[in-house]
Amino acid sequence: MNTKRYLLHSTKYFVKLLVLLAIIYLLLFATGTARVSAEVFLQELFTAPRGWLMIGAMVLLAAAYPRFGFVSRKVKADLQADREIIIQTFLAAGYVLVRESEQEMVFRASSPVRRFIAAYDDPVTVHGEKDCIVLEGIRKETVQAQFRLDSYLAASNNTPTTKS
C-alpha cells in the first residue's frame, strides 16, 4: 500500500472514530445521562490530560488501522480462465464489478449503505500472478471473498474443499 492510500485510509478511520465519539456524547446529552454540559465536556476534552489521552489514542488507532484493516490473500486460480466464477462469487457477496482490465478486476459493494459504513474504502482488487490470483482490500471482505472463491472453485472442479 503506498503512502498516499495509507494516509487516506488512516484519515477516514480517524473521522469515523470522531463521528462515533460524537454520537456517543449526543446520546448521553439526549438521554440526560451526561455528567456535564456540552460546553464543559468540550473544555475537558481539549484542556484536561484525560481528553488529550483519548484524542491521542484515537490518532494512534487510526494510524495503525491500515496495517491491520487491509489484507492481501492468494487463491489458486487463473484470472482469465476463472473470470466468470470470480464475478459470480463477488455478486453473491453483494459486490459489483466496476473496473476490469486484462490484469485486474475491481469490485465495490453494491449497496450505498454498505459503502457509506465502510467510508467508501470498500473496493476489493483482484489481480493475477503466475499461478494464482491476489485479492486485496478491507480485511473482512477480502477474507470472506477468499473463502467463497475457494468454495466456488472447488465446486466447479468437483474437488473437496477441505485439505487433509
pLDDT tens profile 110-127: 888 888 877 777 788 999
Residue 35 CB neighbours (<10 A):
7
DSSP 118: T
Which helix (H) or strand (E) segment is 138 a member of? strand 133-138
Domains of the chain: 3-68 (no CATH), 76-157 (3.30.310)
CB half-sphere exposure, 29, CA atoms < 13 A: 13
pLDDT tops 50 at residue 100: yes
pLDDT tops 70 at residue 162: no
pLDDT tens profile 60-82: 999 999 898 888 999 998 888 88
Helix spans in 48-128 (H):
49-69, 83-92, 112-117
Beta bridge partners of 138: 70
Contact yes or no for 36/44 (Cβ under 8 A):
yes
